[in-house]
Chain A
Amino acid sequence: MANFAGYRRPYPGTQPAHLHPAYVSSIKRAPAKPLVPMPQTLTEVTGPVFGKEAVDTKACDLTRQSSGEPLGERIIVSGRVLDENSRPVPHTLVEIWQANAAGRYMHKRDQHDAPLDPNFPGSGHALTDDEGRYRFVTILPGAYPWGNHYNAWRPCHIHFSLFGPAFATRLVTQMYFPGDPLIPFDPIFNCTADEKARNRLISSFDWENTIPSQALGYRFDIILSGRDATPMEK
């Protein structure tokens, strides 16, 4: 088979452990046995490819998914998708979902006593451009209570799902907002040992993309696993 360079393994401490008891749902769901290390093969360095046909170009604006306008504070969330070698990841699918301004998800299992917003289904997607850039128009999601521990509240966040170029680069994460007082108390945010790695999940306020009289901007760059310099097979 052709020689290929695999994708890098994460830097120690920068990814969560599977078991993080403070996040109660992990206790019965995290594997108890150690993972079996394996080399990446052709299976892992390839992965699904989504082209323009898989994308609705209007889906990057979550405030225009209905006939009316959603309630809440309009925001622009944009950034770049790069790999660990600082190269842009072009034409890759980014999927997002989030709660509405009141902190309620449009989902049958979300029983939080806060209003649903018929004009805010809460999902969007986009392909990155040639330079790895993406941009969503949405509303600031609300914080919401959950049952993890006494008086537990999730900080405001947006879920992100990315594929990148390979099975090995798949990433699901959450983006947080700067200055949110709930962040230090959130066991999901805190599941990663490395403080700098955690803090990179917090977007930054973005004047450049703030639209006068219209919407505040937040910037969130996403880094996917990058190619190792050395080919794995000689």
Chain B
Amino acid sequence: MSLQATTSQTVGPYFSIGLTRLKQDNLAGPGVSGERLTIEGRVLDGDGQPVPDALIEIWQANSHGKYAHPEDDQKKPLEEGFTGYGRIPTDDNGRFRFITIKPGAVPGPQGKPQAPHIAVSVFARGLLRRLVTRIYFPDEAANANDFVLGLVEPERRGTLIARKIAGQAGALEWDVILQGLSETVFFDCGL
């Protein structure tokens, strides 16, 4: 007889009271290797209105494609000072922004590497459970053969791929559109 996982509930509008302490919007501290990237965007609702009470959490590998977690037994280097975790609240205009490094490729299904990606959880008032999505990178040849991207209808894959911001080196844009025609792809990967 197994237990059942506790029911999820919304973070509500006041989560900053409890969740600000671990705010982390710069993962690329001194000594961390890899291509520096700034990723910014907005969280928008079904009317295109900004969501000022959303929280983005990210989880990613380091530039070598290694997760700072005991279950990653790949023979790749860990880097002190790189946890791979970020927590970024949206501001009054629904905007978020974080600095990180481009992750390396990690293993995926069927023994093939996955294209570099960042796993994302989205929490907000109105979301009864978190939404799970991913950020992929532009000009990345490996996207074409990525197993997870391949599960998504081609016309919606673009919602998962960050866009370059013209004229700003290392600056990427990626929005979370909760609902509507250009709705971001959200995944069911368990809870």
Taking CB as reference atom, which chain A residue is nearest B188? A35
Q: Which of B5, B10, B186 contacts A36 (CB 8 A)?
A: B186
Is A123 engaged at the interface, CB distance under 8 Å to the other chain?
A: yes
Is B13 engaged at the interface, CB distance under 8 Å to the other chain?
A: yes
Taking CB as reference atom, which chain B residue is nearest A95? B18
Is B6 engaged at the interface, CB distance under 8 Å to the other chain?
A: yes
Q: State the CA gap A138–B55 with chains docked (Å).
A: 25
Q: State the CA gap A197–B177 with chains docked (Å).
A: 30
A18 with B83: CB separation less than 8 A: no
Taking CB as reference atom, which chain B residue is nearest A4? B71
> A16-29: contact bitstring with B at CB < 8 Å (1 yes, 0 no)?
11101001011111
Separation in Å of the A107 CB from the closest CB of chain B? 4
Q: State the CA gap A184–B181 with chains docked (Å).
A: 35
Taking CB as reference atom, which chain B residue is nearest A173? B9
Q: State the CA gap A4–B106 with chains docked (Å).
A: 15
Known: A38-B148, A46-B69, A123-B21. A188 touches B183 (CB 8 A): no
**Number of B residues whose C-beta is below 8 Å from A?**
74
Is B8 engaged at the interface, CB distance under 8 Å to the other chain?
A: yes
Known: A30-B178, A84-B2, A107-B14. A37 touches B188 (CB 8 A): yes
Residues of A within 8 A of B185 (CB): 33, 36
List the count of A-B residue pairs having beta carbons below 8 Å apart. 264
> B40-78: contact bitstring with A at CB < 8 Å (1 yes, 0 no)?
000001110101010001010100000111111110000
Separation in Å of the B88 CB from the closest CB of chain A? 14
B14 with A43: CB separation less than 8 A: no
Is B141 engaged at the interface, CB distance under 8 Å to the other chain?
A: no
Q: State the CA gap A121–B180 with chains docked (Å).
A: 37
> A207-234: contact bitstring with B at CB < 8 Å (1 yes, 0 no)?
0000000000000001111100000010
Taking CB as reference atom, which chain A residue is nearest B103? A43
A224 with B5: CB separation less than 8 A: yes
B3 with A226: CB separation less than 8 A: yes
Q: Which of A41, A54, A105, A170 contacts B107 (CB 8 A)?
A: A41
Among residues 123 to 156 in chain B, which have CB atoms less than 8 Å away from a CB atom of chain A? Answer: 123-131, 147-148, 151-152
B129 with A15: CB separation less than 8 A: yes
Separation in Å of the A101 CB from the closest CB of chain B? 15
Known: A15-B7, A36-B187. A159 touches B12 (CB 8 A): yes
Known: A86-B2, A107-B14. A170 touches B51 (CB 8 A): no
| Residues of A near any B CB (own CB < 8 A) | 1-2, 4, 6-11, 14-18, 20, 23, 25-33, 35-50, 54, 82-86, 95-97, 99, 105-107, 109-110, 121-125, 159, 161, 165-174, 188-189, 191-192, 194, 197-198, 200-201, 222-226, 233
Using A43-B117, A47-B69 as known contacts, list a sample of 6 further A-B pairs with CB atoms less than 8 Å apart, ordered by residue number in A.
Answer: A29-B125, A30-B179, A44-B189, A85-B3, A97-B14, A159-B11
| Residues of B near any A CB (own CB < 8 A) | 2-19, 21-22, 45-47, 49, 51, 53, 57, 59, 61, 67-74, 83-85, 106-109, 111, 114, 117, 119, 121, 123-131, 147-148, 151-152, 178-180, 183-191
